[in-house]
Amino acid sequence: MDWFDKWAITLAVFIPTVGAAVIAIVPRERDRLARGLGLLFSGVPLLVGILMLFRFDFGMGGAFGRAGALQFEVNLRWIDALNANYHVGLDGISLPLLELTLLLTFLCFIYTWRFLPEPGRPKAFAALLLLLETGMAGTFVAFDLVLFFVFWELVLVPMYFLIGVWGGPNREYAAVKFFLYTIFGSVFMLLGFLAMYFRSDIPGVGHTFDIVLLQQAGFPTGIQNLVFVGLFLGFAIKVPMWPFHTWLPDAHTEAPTVGSVLLAGILLKMGTYGFVRISLPLLPDASRSWAPAIGVLAVIAIVYAALACLAQRDLKRLIAFSSVGHMGFVMLGIATLTPIGINAAVFGMVAHGVITGMLFFLAGSIHERYHTREIAEIGGGMLSKVPYLGSVLTFTAIASLGLPGLAGFWGEVMALLSSYSPADGLSLGLFRTLMVFGGVGTILTAGYFLWMLQRVNLGTVPDRWQAKVFPDVLAIEWLSWAPLLVGTLLLGVFPRLVFGVTNEAVSNLVGLFT
């Protein structure tokens, strides 16, 4: 299996690209063939991903930073002029996110087998989704800053077209806003990367973009602070953190269903992953001095998003705003710089990907039936009109609001817990205040989800829908949702599924702060 260990990541990342190229030459009329190839070329990477789970040495947990501790590592020369390499690998933090990416994309293709938004064009749709998958998966495995940046930006163009062609009525505005916002942040991130490159002088290597090597660079504090600002702009816009979140409600609302699923499920995690993977280990001093500010912004996001959700009338927009809040919890966990907090953050990322991905699938399916997403127009009674769909919505919403026993619980509660005792050198008073406000946020979150359920699920079916016959959850929907529903339950009951993987990598990382 040596061969597999060496090439597994490359296969998982680039089989979708090959698929995109293959689909590009399929004749336009062969609708089913294009969708089938999409299934195939996202299914094979998932199989590779599952195999990797069996080959992954959980005992090592991927001790990021210790030489040779990355698993499935490949380090090939790529651009000699820059000393940039094709360096990919997996540790305990990347693994769950990579698996999530592979799984969600495959589920999106299952969903697309039946549902393809206007104006059709399955060929282009499938090719773009596959290209997107390469970008997303690559971001989580890249251990070279240039490579990371290339994958990071690779996501933009497919998503721009997915929103702009297959989106809702206001799609063009949303697509451009998404693109400009993200690229604005990421170019500053690139400048930060370059600054690190030129300020690094690793014995025997010289200037380098290698994320593992750069940990030894030990930049002076002044440089760290400057670079941190550049990186912060890139990551914070992607997360998005308040007040950089304004692209999100538009993009998520206008995007087609699977576009929203991937935006919320994966793309947002790229930002938080960037903080954990790059900002914290490479710029520890700056991270410590910026942590309080990040914590404050995170809590503002939690409370603000919850209040905004209470005011939403559009179901999909409500879910979009709820993402801002959930990512706030993730950022709060990161800001504490403690093992519990960062474990909670990674857990929160995975849980949010599973749950909110599911919520966006539901929003799409509700729209397929009612042809509206206005909560007032749906008008209640969904549980009696389409009982399975209503039940699934209840289950997922309750998971999202953080009910113990389901996936949403652990990320939030541990983030709050960790802010009770943040890392040394961070203000206890501030973080405990943040904890209180975060707690208020959880109550508000429960409030808007329950209120939404009351307005959509409960009550009697309005007259206008009485005569209409809606199909309940279809087989294809069950197929694409089942893994997420099961995952929500499993992660809630056995949080060790994630913590067991991440813990060691996180403790290594946090060693820098204690």
Partner 1 sequence: MPAIDYHAILPELILSGTILLALVAATALPRQRSWVAMPLSFLGVVGALVATLTLIGSDRATFGGTYVVDNFAVLFKVFFMVVALVVLAVSLRYFREGRFYQGEYYFLLLSSFLGMLTMPSSRDLLMLFISLELVSAPGFLMAGLRKGDPRSNEAALKFFLIGVLSTAVMLYGMSLIYGVTGTLSLTGIAEVLSGPAGGGNLALAAILFVVAGFAFKVSAAPFQFWAPDTYEGSPIPVAAYLSVASKAAGFAGLLQLMFVAFAPRADFWAPIFAVVSVATMSLGNLVALQQRQVVRLFAYSSIAQSGYMLLPFALVGSDAAINRAAFAAVVLYILIYAVMNLGAFGVILAVAREAPGALVTDFAGLIRRAPALAVSMVLFLVSLAGIPFLAGFWGKFFIFSAAIDARQAWLAVVMVVNSVISVAYYLSIARQMIFVEAPQDARPLRVPALVSTVVVLAAAAIVTVGVFPDLFAHFPQVSTLSAP
The residues binding partner 1 (CB under 8 A) are 78-82, 149-150, 153-154, 156-157, 160-161, 164-165, 171-172, 176, 179-180, 183-184, 187-188, 190-191, 194-195, 197-198
Comparing CB distances to partner 1, the nearer of 219 and 409 is 219
Comparing CB distances to partner 1, the nearer of 40 and 82 is 82
Q: Quick one: tokens of 25?
A: 């030459």
Comparing CB distances to partner 1, the nearer of 184 and 451 is 184
The minimum distance between CB 198 and partner 1, in angstroms, equals 5
The minimum distance between CB 6 and partner 1, in angstroms, equals 20
Comparing CB distances to partner 1, the nearer of 197 and 448 is 197
Comparing CB distances to partner 1, the nearer of 3 and 198 is 198
3-state secondary structure of 416: helix
Burial of 229 (0-12, 13-18, 19+ CB in 10 A): middle
- The secondary element (H helix, E strand) that includes residue 473 is none
Comparing CB distances to partner 1, the nearer of 39 and 82 is 82
Q: Please give the torsion angle defined by the CA atoms of residues 264, 266, 268 and 274, in that order, rounded to the nearest 10 degrees.
A: 170
- How many C-beta atoms surround the C-beta of residue 155 within 10 A? 25
* Residue 51 amino acid letter: L
Comparing CB distances to partner 1, the nearer of 24 and 53 is 24
Task: Give the HSE-up count for residue 20: Cα atoms under 13 Å, Cβ half-sphere.
Answer: 17
End-to-end CA distance of the chain: 39
The minimum distance between CB 207 and partner 1, in angstroms, equals 9
Q: Quick one: tokens of 307?
A: 């209040």
Specify which residues 77 forms β-bridges with. 85
The minimum distance between CB 134 and partner 1, in angstroms, equals 10
d(Cα 19, Cα 41) in Å, to the nearest integer?
5
Give, in order, the Cα–Cα distances in Å from 457 to each of 161, 317, 478.
34, 18, 19
The minimum distance between CB 240 and partner 1, in angstroms, equals 17
- How many C-beta atoms surround the C-beta of residue 114 within 10 A? 14
Give the residue carrying structure tokens 């979140």: 245
The minimum distance between CB 164 and partner 1, in angstroms, equals 5
Which DSSP symbol is given to 460?
P
* CB-based contact 90:137 (threshold 8 Å): no
d(Cα 314, Cα 254) in Å, to the nearest integer?
11
The minimum distance between CB 116 and partner 1, in angstroms, equals 17
The minimum distance between CB 99 and partner 1, in angstroms, equals 24
The minimum distance between CB 254 and partner 1, in angstroms, equals 12
Q: Is 376 left (phi over 0), alpha (psi -120 to 50) or beta?
A: alpha
Comparing CB distances to partner 1, the nearer of 213 and 354 is 213
Comparing CB distances to partner 1, the nearer of 84 and 303 is 84
The minimum distance between CB 39 and partner 1, in angstroms, equals 23
Which DSSP symbol is given to 513?
G
Strands (E), 134-277: none
Comparing CB distances to partner 1, the nearer of 166 and 370 is 166
The minimum distance between CB 125 and partner 1, in angstroms, equals 13
- Output the DSSP codes for 321-371: HHHHHHHHHHHHHHHTTSHHHHHHHHHHHHHHHHHHHHHHHHHHHHHHHHS
- How many C-beta atoms surround the C-beta of residue 391 within 10 A? 15
Comparing CB distances to partner 1, the nearer of 51 and 157 is 157
